[in-house]
Structure 1
Amino acid sequence: MLIVTTENIKGCKIIDVKGQVFGVVVRSRGLGGNIVAGLRSLVGGEIHEYTALLEDTRKQAVDRLVKNAQAMGANAVVMMRFDSSEIGKNMSEIVAFGTAVVVEKEA
């Protein structure tokens, strides 16, 4: 599955547009992780617990995006983007979205 953030894929021609496609994940950090992260925030710097959580969540959102695009009959996703938001005090929503398309190599 080709996934790009651009409108076109160099060397490929879009032959069919399947439509918008999403991969959504909502995650919560456990109490222990929140306490450790809270303590780290007192001294400043990167909070590794949250970085790892968000990185894993983005990967899972892309995996779901790919699965949904394949179910639509697509072999690529163009204009892929991420969006995120907070839900409550300790939950994050990560959305990977784009346009599912069928591409073929140009002759």
Structure 2
Amino acid sequence: MVLTTTNGVEGRTVTDYLGIVAGEVILGINVFKDIAAGFRNIVGGRSGKYEEELRKGRDGALAEMLQYAQQLGADAVIGVKIDYETVGGQMLMITASGTAVKLA
């Protein structure tokens, strides 16, 4: 399955728009990761644990979106967008959305 942030797939023609598909993941950040990230902020550098959680969340949201696209019989998802939002101050919501399409 082709995933792209563009409005089409180069060299292919969109023959049918199947609808918007989305995937959502909500991550809770635990206290121990927060403490480790706090130390990292004091001394500088990147927070590997947060980055790992973000990757897992993004991959999960994309996988869920792809699952819905496959159920529709799509060949690709175009116009893919990934959003990050905080929920309740303690959780992070990652959403992936796009348009499921059939290609010639």
- Partner in structure 2 of residue 76 of structure 1: 76
Paired letter, 1:87: V
CA drift of 1:44 comes to 2.0
- Partner in structure 1 of residue 57 of structure 2: 57
- Which blocks of at least 5 consecutive residues in structure 1 are unaligned? none
CA drift of 1:24 comes to 0.5
TM-superposition CA deviations, 1:36-86 (whole Å, max 9, x none)? 112211122211111110011101111001001111221100010101100
- Partner in structure 2 of residue 101 of structure 1: 101
- Partner in structure 2 of residue 92 of structure 1: 92
Paired letter, 2:40: R
CA–CA separation in structure 2 for the residues paired with 1:6 and 1:67: 20
Aligned pairs for 1:32-47 (under 5 A) are 32-47=32-47
Identity over the aligned pairs, expressed in percent?
34
Count how many residue pairs are aligned between Structure 1 and Structure 2. Answer: 104
CA drift of 1:35 comes to 1.3
Which TM-score applies when normalising by structure 1? 0.92
Paired letter, 2:62: V
Paired letter, 1:3: L
SS of equivalent to 1:93: strand
- Which blocks of at least 5 consecutive residues in structure 2 are unaligned? none
CA drift of 1:11 comes to 1.4
CA drift of 1:26 comes to 0.4
SS of equivalent to 1:78: strand
CA–CA separation in structure 2 for the residues paired with 1:84 and 1:21: 17
CA drift of 1:8 comes to 1.1
SS of equivalent to 2:13: strand
Segment drifting more, 78-87 vs 35-44: 35-44
